[in-house]
Structure 1
Amino acid sequence: MTGLALGGGVMADGGEQYEASASALGYLFQFAKALHMCIEQWMSAGPDWSIAVEAADDIEQHMGSVTDLLQLKQRAEGVRLTDTSKDLWKTLRIWAEAATAGRIDLDETNLYLLTTAELPADSVGYLLQHRATGHRDEERALKQLCAAAAASKTKSQDLLKSFAALTGMAKPLQNALLARIQVVGGTEDIADVRTAMLRLAAVAAGHGAAKAFLNRLEGWFYDRVIEQMRTPGGSPVTGVEFDEVFSSLQRQFQHDNLPIDGDITRMTGHATEQAEKNFVRQLEIIGVGSRRIGFAVRDYVRAFAQRSRWTNENLLRPGEIGEYERRLVEEWEARFAVMEEELGPGATEEQKKAEAKLIYQWVDQEARFQIRTGCDEVFVTKGSYHMLADEPEPRVGWHPDFAARLMQLLEPAEVPG
């Protein structure tokens, strides 16, 4: 099932016209609600479930042999779901046609209409609420639906088709259909759903990291659902799959770890764009090849982006970057001092470059200092060394005379007199 008409977009003024931005918000509402359901299932149920968006309905959930089909309607404040509401009848048409055609098994399918609209007392929606409310009356609801269809003066072809879809069903099938329908009014809107997810994310990752955790989970989920929607018969998100993703993300937010983001690990960087950087000049001074310089640029770009994101999301502890860089510099200092002693004052330029390459080889292939014990992504170490080598007054370098060499490169060329 596709199309914005099924997406539950927000009516801008309660009228017939949907604003483009409101329709987009309706789709986001579906995504958010589906993710919220996944998180709740992960926290309360086993892995035997699956959820799909815009498959057999706005949201389709399977738990064992039972199927839940959900229609979502996000509406402006004050809108009411009346017996002639288009939201109600369009939803009934979808389910009535599916039941008549045998596309849904009413014995094992629950049908939910979730709307932010109000349910007026004694309206059809009011009468089809959960039995626990004490207001449920399927027989009366069916009578009111048939009466509303008969009394309507509408010329809308969509509504007329909706009336016919329900009233044209055999009475036993009408009864079976309404027995499976549950209307939930005044439900949470997209803002409320996201607030609820933030509370659950705080349980998984802590209050300070809840927003960062949820942002990453949403990014994965939305990409995954888009993939499902774009592929004919695309596979739903399963409980097993969600458990793997959620648990992996949870581990990344533990006290001894930091998240490494997929979009950052896919960054490659461009050596030409970084050609004027000090860390690139340092590599050129000792004769590192262009391909390896490209790898260095990649590590630098990734480390810079990842560290910036950690900082912006307040995932780092006070002074943590400074302490990490102190460790890196001190490890470099020990090796650099050995190199200086072994070279001595009479070393040739060729010897200096050869030893400098060994220092850089250590950084490139051996130095693996974790900012936290669980965070073992190698670009963090290598890229951080390049960041230290890139400072206006570099704190690390490879050539024994790197500071003087860089100064010469940065000095403006003398203009002949």
Structure 2
Amino acid sequence: MTGYLYQCELALLELARRSWDEATIEVRMELLDDIEFLNPQDNTPLELLQSKHREAAGPLSETGKDFWRSLASWIDALKNLSGPSGTSMPLLRLVSTQIAPANTFLQQLRPGADRDVSNALARMEEVAQDEDGPDGTAKDRALFMKLTPAQRHQLVSAITINDGAPVMSDLDSSLAKELGITPSDHAQAALDDIKGWWYGMAVKLLERKNPERMLPSVKAEQLMCRRDEILGRYAGKSLPITETLSNLTQAEIAGYADRLVVTQMRWIGLPDDEVAMHLRDYHYARAQRSEWLRTFKITPERLEEYEGELHYEWESAFRRRTRRVRADMSEEDRQSVGQDILDDTMDRAADTPLNPGSVTAPWIGKGSMHGLSDQADTAEADRAVGWHPDYSELCKRHTETQEQ
């Protein structure tokens, strides 16, 4: 079990390590190999990584399963690629917590000045053909020897052994360093938040049955965006505002005429000038949020959390204002209650920051709240927002009318 968790956290560590120089690089798991890094231009593998975690200290064996099964896995994976040439052959890495002994081909395949592919290949061929070798790797060694000499040389040239990797219990310090988390009172909490997000992403990367939950890969940009969100939460960092508010044109306002966001305001008798004012917040909040998502200033997960916070504020206002609504109350009075709900909700939304402890332009919260009202006829119960005391029933009729 520790080995599987190690693979997951090693993928996070490796992605964080690359993120500073290769922001668009992507990672995936358990397709061609334990961990893969992809070229974002054409989605071809740049690196196939085998993860081997052993709690007990000890040498990495020349005849052991950790190496030879990794080799067999690489041979199978490369068959699925369209004839890799010398330039397109992915890097093949074995990351092991054990140590490669001196004078072994494993040591000769480490990165650095002492790397010696020719001698490593010759020694590998000796080990592969040893009839006294362990039965557990016999098929894997035979598979290697079935390759042509040129293929064996090309394969071995692509292999890198990274031995002496930190064990599971020592990964946190390496992760914090690569993520740029400096020692502070909140360092461990921030790291735990990032790891919690990452495990959720890993589940989606490993999903194979439900296409709606499946995630093909994760970009380094996504990781760094989430890191900035979490660190910003503890530092009270504000998001940049790139949109400039101005009154919408009549054509822009007309474009929203049939949207539920406007219909909801009509249900409470809001005049045209106030509808236009609220639509301005909605319009520019949508644009700003899209810009943040596009430029990796915020993640969809944080926006979802934020909408949950906004919904809580709306619910507080809605329940307080509707607790005295009677069955015999006139429609005019119901609309008046709805206007009070809208005003209270907008005040609360304006004071709800996207990053706790930071400052967010008031129209972001107000416009985002209108975004929830625009989805009230399709949203799940825990996200539906409305102004009229009977908005739920009105939305139901609205949907039925549209379907007809």
TM-score, normalised to structure 2, is: 0.57
Cα pair 2:26 2:218 within 8 Å, conserved: yes
Q: Distance in 1 between matches of 2:64 and 2:326?
A: 70
Within-5 A mapping of 1:150-299: 150-153=129-132, 156=135, 159-201=137-179, 203=181, 207-231=184-208, 234-256=215-237, 287=324
> 2:110 aligns to what?
129
Q: CA deviation at 1:73?
A: 0.6
The answer (yes or no) to whether the contact 2:16–2:220 under 8 Å persists in 1 is: no
Output the CA distance in 1 between the equivalents of 2:219 and 2:341: 46
Q: Say whether 1:68 aligns with 2:47.
A: yes
Q: Structure 1 residue 161: deviation in Å?
A: 1.5
Secondary structure of the structure 2 residue equivalent to 1:208: coil
| Contact 2:33-2:74 at 8 Å conserved across structures | no
CA contact under 8 A between 2:62 and 2:105: conserved in structure 1? yes
Q: 3-state DSSP class of the match of 2:60? A: coil
* Paired AA for residue 149 in structure 1: A
Letter in 2 for 1:79: G
Counterpart position of 1:318 = none
Question: Structure 1 residues 72 and 155 mapped into 2: Cα distance closer, same or farther (>3 Å)?
Answer: closer
Structure 1's 122 and 287: CA in aligned 2 closer, same or farther, altered over 3 A? same
C-alpha distance 365-250 of structure 1, shift in aligned 2 (>3 A): same
Cα deviation for residue 165 of structure 1 reads 1.0
The answer as to whether partners of 1:202 and 1:209 remain within 8 angstroms in 2 is no
Distance in 2 between residues matched to 1:267 and 1:369, nearest whole Å = 11
Question: Within 2, Cα distance between the matches of 1:74 and 1:121?
Answer: 20
Once the two structures are superposed, residues 372-417 of structure 1 have per-residue CA deviations (whole angstroms, 9 ceiling, x without a partner) of 44267979xxxxxxxxxxxxxxxxxxxxxxxxxxxxxxxxxxxxxx
TM-superposed deviation, 1:267: 9.0
1:359 positional shift: 8.9
Contact 2:19 2:224 in 1 (8 A): yes
Q: Which moved more, 1:102-111 or 1:82-91?
A: 102-111
**Letter of the structure 2 residue corresponding to residue 53 of structure 1:** M
Listed as ranges, the matches of 1:83-122 within 5 Å are 83-99=62-78, 102=81, 105=84, 107=86, 108=88, 109-122=90-103
SS at match of 1:141: helix
Q: 3-state SS of the aligned residue for 1:207? A: coil
AA in 2 matched with 1:183: I
Give, in whole Å, the separation in 2 of the partners of 1:362 and 1:99: 62
**Aligned partners of 1:180 and 1:361: how far apart in 2?**
63
Secondary structure, aligned partner of 1:199 = helix
Query: Matches of 1:243 and 1:78 in 2, distance apart?
Result: 33
Instruction: Kindly indicate whether the alpha-carbon contact (under 8 Å) linking 1:48 and 1:240 is maintained by their aligned counterparts in 2.
Output: yes
Runs of 5+ unmatched residues, structure 2: 240-297, 328-335, 367-404
Q: Where do 5+ consecutive residues of structure 1 fail to align?
A: 1-21, 271-278, 291-354, 380-417
> Does the aligned pair in 2 maintain the 1:116–1:185 contact within 8 Å?
yes
Number of the residue aligned with 1:374? 359
Structure showing greater Rg: 1
The equivalent residue for 1:78 is 57
TM-fit CA distance, 1:49? 1.2
Q: Closer, same or farther in 2 for the Cα pair 1:100/1:356, shift >3 Å?
A: closer
1:382-397 mapped onto 2 (5 Å cutoff): none
**Structure 1 pair 165/360, CA: closer, same or farther in 2 (3 Å)?**
same
Q: Is the 8 A contact 1:286 1:357 kept in 2?
A: no
Q: Is the 8 A contact 2:179 2:227 kept in 1?
A: no
Over aligned residues, Cα RMSD in angstroms? 4.3
The equivalent position to 2:117 in structure 1, one of 116, 131, 138, is 138
Q: In the TM superposition, what is the alpha-carbon distance from 1:40 to its structure 2 partner? A: 2.2
Alignment length (residue pairs): 283
Counterparts of 2:8 and 2:227, CA distance in 1: 16
Cα distance, 1:131–1:361 mapped onto 2, change above 3 Å: closer
Counterpart CA distance in 1 for 2:3 and 2:237 is 39
Alignment of 1:310-389 (within 5 A): 363-367=344-348, 368-369=350-351, 372-374=357-359
For 1:193 and 1:116, how far apart are their aligned partners in 2? 11
Tell me if structure 2 keeps the 8 A contact 1:99–1:106.
no
Q: Does 1:37 align with 2:74?
A: no
Is contact 2:237–2:358 with CA below 8 Å preserved after alignment? yes
Cα deviation, residue 265, structure 1? 6.0
| Contact 2:11 2:27 (C-alpha < 8 Å) held by counterparts | yes
CA drift at 1:52:
1.1
SS, match of residue 56 in structure 2: coil
Q: 1:214: how far off?
A: 2.3
User: Residues of 2 paired with 1:153 and 1:27: CA distance?
Assistant: 32
Q: Structure 2 vs 1, CA of residues 100 and 262 (structure 1 numbering), >3 Å: closer, same or farther? A: closer
Q: Which residue of 1 aligns with 2:243?
A: none
1:97/1:165 contact within 8 Å kept? no
